[in-house]
Amino acid sequence: MTMPDIHFVASDAADAQSALAEMRTYYSDKGADAAKIIVALGGDGFMLQTLHKFLGSKKPIYGMNLGSVGFLMNEYRQEGLAERLAAAETAVVHPLRMKATNISGQIKEALAFNEVSLLRETRQAAKLRISVDERTRIEELICDGILISTPAGSTAYNLSAHGPILPIDAALLALTPISAFRPRRWHGALLPHRAHTRFEVLEPNKRPVSAVADDLEVRGVISVDVAEDRSVSMTMMFDAGHSLDERILAEQFID
């Protein structure tokens, strides 16, 4: 079977770097510009980095797990890569766009394929006001933080914070509090993917909050606006029978 033009990238971890050297002895690396498919060697965090690195390239990403969890990755094997790529199933993912304003009035924008999270910076709980589509939904949430997750990211930090798992093609976002103190009984919400969510930090000097979009952090924020950006998309590739849809479904039946 003919191998498509591929380019390997790997995390800095020793195992990933060793695998990179091994794969390049088996297969030709056409380079980033000429490649039709990017093969990423590492863990889920490295997959997110790779999605950001090749944003706008329209090149699909096929990950091979050399990390801890590897939910977004395929099993690492040297042999049979051409056959695996030919049979692979695809998933198109759209990121969240975060616009964060800090206490100095600076505005920073970033994309997040997993989630945007707001987290307290000190020992004191954060106080947040939450609005959805310009309507205040919670006047004051006292918590360690809150996150808004894509379907692709719903099995990551969102799941650890007891948020819902979303099918990959669900037109929904998960809004999940992190250790909410008041209101105690609020466990989050499901939002339509087109929703615009605004978080306002009520006491930014006394109770500073940071905002994180995937791996980019903005500290000392006073407001954060989040909405899905459907104009941006990336394609991920998964081994036949192990699609992202199937992984998300299977995750809901794990004891």
What CA–CA distance (Å, rounded) separates 181 from 187? 11
Cβ partners under 8 Å of residue 21, min gap 6: none
Contact 92, 192 (CB under 8 A): no
What CA–CA distance (Å, rounded) separates 207 from 128? 10
What's residue 220's pLDDT? Answer: 97
What's residue 254's pLDDT? Answer: 66
Contact 48, 70 (CB under 8 A): no
Tell me the pLDDT of the chain (255 aa) as tens digits.
788 999 999 999 999 999 999 999 999 999 999 999 999 999 999 999 999 999 989 899 999 999 877 888 999 999 999 999 999 999 999 999 999 999 999 999 999 999 999 999 999 999 999 999 999 999 999 999 999 999 989 988 999 999 998 988 889 999 999 999 999 889 999 999 999 999 999 999 999 999 999 989 999 999 999 999 999 999 999 998 887 778 777 777 765
The domain 96-228 is placed in CATH, from the list 3.40.50.300, 2.40.70.10, 2.60.200.30, 3.40.190.290, at: 2.60.200.30
Is 44 among the residues known to form the active site?
yes
What CA–CA distance (Å, rounded) separates 56 from 52? 9
Reading the block at residue 225, the tokens are 């606006």
Domain residue limits, the chain: 6-93+233-251, 96-228
What CA–CA distance (Å, rounded) separates 218 from 107? 9
Output the pTM of the full model.
Answer: 0.87
Catalytic residue among 5, 29, 33, 44: 44
Q: Which CATH architecture has domain 6-93+233-251?
A: 3-Layer(aba) Sandwich (3.40)
